[in-house]
Homo-oligomer: A and B are copies of this chain.
Amino acid sequence: MAQKKEYLSKNQKIVLDIIEKSAQPMKAYSILFNVQKKGLKAPPQVYRALDKLVEIGKIHKIESRNAFIACRNSACTITNATAFSICESCEYVKEISSSKLSKYLSNFQDKEGMKYNKYNLEFFGICKKCK
């Protein structure tokens, strides 16, 4: 995990850094605002970095929120099997790392017997704090 970071470009490091420092998902334009002091002034600079970081699995996109969160699931070397829980009240997001769940979904076949190489699952509910 740490090694991979060595190969990141300058902008990729800057963007990853800010996301990793955030406990919760960040939106692209909030990232942009936060990295402007570091010289990244325009959306494409941020989006390019985000694309790459998603591709190599250092971060994940929370699709229903258009936001990006650092991967902290050590089992998540793969970028193609992601699961999250999202609190609909406070928007708290947590990556779910359940080998049972990922096994189940990775092996899932539809009615035609088709298997999939990738999935993204988002659970919604009310977190403990909000209850």
Q: Does A9 contact B (CB under 8 A)?
A: no
User: Chain A 92-121 against B: per-residue CB contact (8 Å), 1 yes, 0 no?
Assistant: 001010100100110010111011111111
Candidate in A98, A120, A127 with the most chain B CB atoms within 10 angstroms: A120
Which residues of A pack against B, CB within 8 Å? 63-64, 80, 85, 88, 94, 96, 98, 101, 104-105, 108, 110-112, 114-125, 127-128
Q: Is A118 a contact partner of B110 (Cβ separation < 8 A)?
A: no
The answer to whether B98 touches A112 (Cβ under 8 A) is no
CB distance from A63 to the nearest CB of B (A): 4
Residue in A101, A104, A123, A125 whose Cβ sees the most chain B Cβ within 10 Å = A123
Bound complex: CA of A83 vs CA of B96, how far in Å?
18
| Contact call B121/A120, Cβ cutoff below 8 A | yes
- Asked if A120 and B85 make an inter-chain contact with CB atoms under 8 angstroms apart, the answer reads no
Q: Can you name 24 A-B pairs with beta carbons within 8 Å?
A: A63-B63, A63-B64, A85-B110, A85-B116, A98-B108, A98-B110, A98-B111, A105-B123, A110-B123, A112-B128, A114-B125, A114-B127, A114-B128, A115-B125, A116-B123, A116-B125, A117-B125, A118-B123, A118-B125, A119-B121, A120-B121, A120-B122, A121-B121, A121-B122
